[in-house]
Amino acid sequence: MAEEKFFLGRQPILDREQRLYGFELLFRSADSLHANVTDYLQASASVIFDALSSFGFREILGKHKGFINVNADVLMSEALELLPPEKVVIELLEHVPITDTVISRCHELREKGFSLALDDHIYEPVYEPLYHLVDVIKVDLFRTGMENLASEVETLRKWNTKLLAEKVETVEQYERCADLGFTYFQGYYFARPVVLTRTRVDVGRLAIVKLFNQLVAEVELGELEETFKQNPNLVLNLLRLVNSVAVGLKDRITSLRHAIMVLGYHQLRRWAMMALFANNAQGGGDNPLLVMAATRARLMELIISEQPAARLDRDYPDRAFMTGILSLADALLKVSMDEVLTPLNLDNDVREALLSRTGELGELLTLVEKIEKDDFENIASSFEQFQLSMERLAPVQMDACNWATQLGEVT
């Protein structure tokens, strides 16, 4: 069992300000595409710890919290205490029996600095001794039912515990839960495009689009410098990036021209697309759309890099990256995807992938979206198409998560 390998997925958890609060960490056996997501609970807590340690807590979570599901056996394991309490929320699955032993163990973990949560919860009197101990109660909207939500919240509110709405898939569901006083929200509602009839023209984003098209056209360095100089915020962000640990230069860069030359047009194109996501009031590392888009982009790039087509077309991995990074731009900008793409000078295969999920890039984007949601049903053919296995997916997924985490710290 100690040699078992895991694929680690993560699902974002947002706060009331729509900032990234943490991730629920989901384990899946790397030996089987069809293994159930909770199969890892058959392993000991020490194996879970080893898996998390090998991935690296900082790489997985950055500055955010990690919610980890536990059954009764894992809850009682001493190895659980090897996890860093300041980073981990221990989430008791709904079938954990409420016994004196379990309650005593929860007291003990609280004293050691761990936060506790109840998963997929509906009020039952037997849980009342735990309500005083847990920090978060997760309410599954599908299991509870929207029609029963208000009464459920009213019952749970008396224990003064924070509530997390789970499986929030629409903006309307989010708004209802927010009105009822939920503190945290888990689900992909924030990634769904909500197209407004008219939006204010964002001068900063127009400058980024202009810069991107200049980079694609590979205009002269002086022309590029002029565009930067007209937008001081872009200059500051560029210098911040090029001097960050993500770039890893030995000597500090202080001039605009030097920064452009060091990064090169290829990397600057990527940075320009990332800047679209960071160009709002919400910090990059706390922006769930930025984290998700960056993870998608890097994962698509890594998968395509190993395809035979990448050896014949050196730009193919870059186009895969652009497809991933732009796949959430409609949700960010609150306009249609067609409107997002119109001013951008993009290759046709990228456009087709984003508009209709067609072509190889479109098929890969669909696959990555399913991986993101831990939806591994009916994707065996896609795995075969891209020569993937769970064992191979695990390290590239963690590479993508790590890259997105680092990027969020400097955008």
Q: Which domain holds residue 399?
A: 203-408
**Domains in the chain, number:** 2
In a domain? residue 1: no
For residue 286, the model assigns a pLDDT of 77
Mark whether 160 and 255 lie in a shared domain: no
Mark whether 260 and 401 lie in a shared domain: yes
Angle at 386 between CA 385 and CA 389, to 5 degrees: 105
Which tokens hold the place of 319?
């186009």
Q: What percent of the chain has pLDDT over 70?
A: 83
For residue 250, the model assigns a pLDDT of 60
In a domain? residue 211: yes
Tell me the per-residue pLDDT of 26-56, one tens digit each, with 9 for 90 and over.
877 666 555 454 444 555 565 566 666 666 7
Parallel/antiparallel/unpaired status of strands 65-70 and 20-29: parallel
Task: Please tell me whether residue 62 adopts helix, strand or coil conformation.
Answer: coil
- Picking from 161, 190, 219, the residue at the C-terminal end of a domain is 190
Task: Please tell me whether residue 201 adopts helix, strand or coil conformation.
Answer: coil
Tell me the per-residue pLDDT of 200-241, one tens digit each, with 9 for 90 and over.
456 577 788 889 889 988 899 999 988 888 887 788 778 777
Mark whether 213 and 340 lie in a shared domain: yes
Tell me the per-residue pLDDT of 250-271, one tens digit each, with 9 for 90 and over.
666 767 888 888 888 888 888 8
* Prediction pTM value: 0.81
CATH number at residue 309: 1.10.3210.10
Inter-CA distances, 169 with 9, 138, 185, 298, 354, Å: 18, 15, 10, 25, 21
Q: What is the CA radius of gyration of the chain?
A: 23
Q: Which residues contact 220 (CB under 8 A, 6 or more apart)?
A: none
- Picking from 162, 190, 218, the residue at the C-terminal end of a domain is 190
In a domain? residue 196: no
Closest CA to 394 of 41, 54, 91: 54
Which tokens hold the place of 339?
């409107």
Q: Which long-range contacts (CB under 8 A, 24 or more apart) does 96-99 make?
A: 96/70, 96/71, 96/72, 97/72, 98/126, 98/127, 98/129, 98/130
Mark whether 350 and 211 lie in a shared domain: yes
In a domain? residue 102: yes
CATH number at residue 114: 3.20.20.450
- Picking from 158, 190, 222, the residue at the C-terminal end of a domain is 190
Helices (H), 123-278: 128-131, 141-144, 149-157, 171-179, 203-217, 221-229, 232-242, 256-278
